[in-house]
């Protein structure tokens, strides 16, 4: 059987691109990943995502699919093995509800902690982020994964928090999640990052750390220049 051509326009240190890699790996789909230079966007990226000009974009069967949550649903509907979303419509609705919550809330506040220096803005982001993480903590209570006994859609959506947060805490010197206040989330961090196909795709820690430090310096200095 010929291998299907599946290509991901991504970037090795992008949490949103990693979502797509996790989903494809979970489904056992072979794919090629093209690392995009986000500071100098390629014609390829602009052609395949002319509206948002952002990664990730999945290329499959001559079509381009942008937006990580949209791609995850596409993957789940195209390759039926190892379903990501549950079967029950209400459970599916809840997975989508929480995915939207993570993308609209945590995806703003956690980078808000990272992209600011000590000050009001950072403090506000930190407080909000902790409040939102407490809500996720509650969702996890009594469960090993967001998906229940095994990894599902919402675990893949939230997965970046498990890996990126400790780097953010370390680099900013601000602690958001500890085992005492967040026992369920802390246990989930470990359980999720121990899943073989999750672990296998994690960016190398030293390389990621160096990248995040440089990225943050750029963020902070561009902000200073804007003032």
Q: Does 71 bind its own copies (CB under 8 A)?
A: yes
Which stretch in 12-20, 71-79, 116-124, 159-167 sits in contact with its own copies by CB under 8 A? 71-79
Q: Does 90 bind its own copies (CB under 8 A)?
A: yes
Q: Does 131 bind its own copies (CB under 8 A)?
A: no
Q: Does 81 bind its own copies (CB under 8 A)?
A: no
Distance CA 9, CA 32 (A): 9
Structure tokens, 214: 């440089």
Task: Please choose, from the candidates 154, 159, 153, the residue with its C-alpha nearest in 3D space to the C-alpha of residue 190.
Answer: 159
Question: Which residues, 6 or more positions from 211, have their beta carbon under 8 angstroms from its beta carbon?
Answer: 13, 203
Distance CA 3, CA 23 (A): 18
Strands 6-10 and 32-35: parallel
Pick the binder of its own copies from 63, 149, 206, 224 (CB under 8 A).
63
Q: Does 30 bind its own copies (CB under 8 A)?
A: no
Q: Which is nearer to its own copies, 69 or 201 (CB)?
A: 69
Binding site for its own copies (CB under 8 A): 51, 61, 63, 65-67, 69-71, 73-74, 77-78, 89-90, 92-93, 96-97, 100-101, 135
């Amino acid at each position: 059987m010929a291998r299907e051509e599946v290509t991901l326009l991504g970037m090795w240190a992008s949490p949103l691109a990693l979502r797509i890699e996790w989903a494809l790996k979970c489904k056992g789909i072979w794919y090629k990943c093209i690392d995009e230079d986000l500071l100098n966007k390629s014609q390829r990226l602009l052609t395949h995502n002319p509206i948002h000009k952002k990664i990730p974009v999945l290329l499959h069967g001559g079509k381009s699919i942008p937006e990580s949550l949209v791609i995850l649903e596409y993957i789940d509907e195209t390759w039926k093995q190892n379903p990501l979303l549950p079967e029950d419509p209400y459970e599916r609705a809840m997975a989508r509800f929480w995915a939207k919550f993570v993308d609209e809330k945590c995806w703003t506040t956690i980078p808000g902690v990272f992209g600011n220096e000590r000050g009001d803005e950072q403090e506000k982001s930190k407080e909000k982020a902790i409040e939102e993480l407490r809500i996720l903590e509650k969702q996890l209570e009594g469960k090993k994964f967001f998906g229940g006994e095994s990894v599902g859609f919402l675990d893949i959506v939230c997965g970046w928090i498990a890996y990126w947060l400790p780097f953010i805490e370390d680099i900013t010197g601000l602690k958001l999640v500890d085992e005492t206040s967040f026992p369920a989330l802390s246990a989930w961090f470990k359980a999720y990052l121990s899943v073989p196909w999750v672990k296998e795709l994690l960016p190398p820690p030293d390389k990621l750390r160096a990248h995040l430090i440089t990225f943050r310096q750029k963020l902070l200095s561009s902000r200073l220049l804007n003032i």
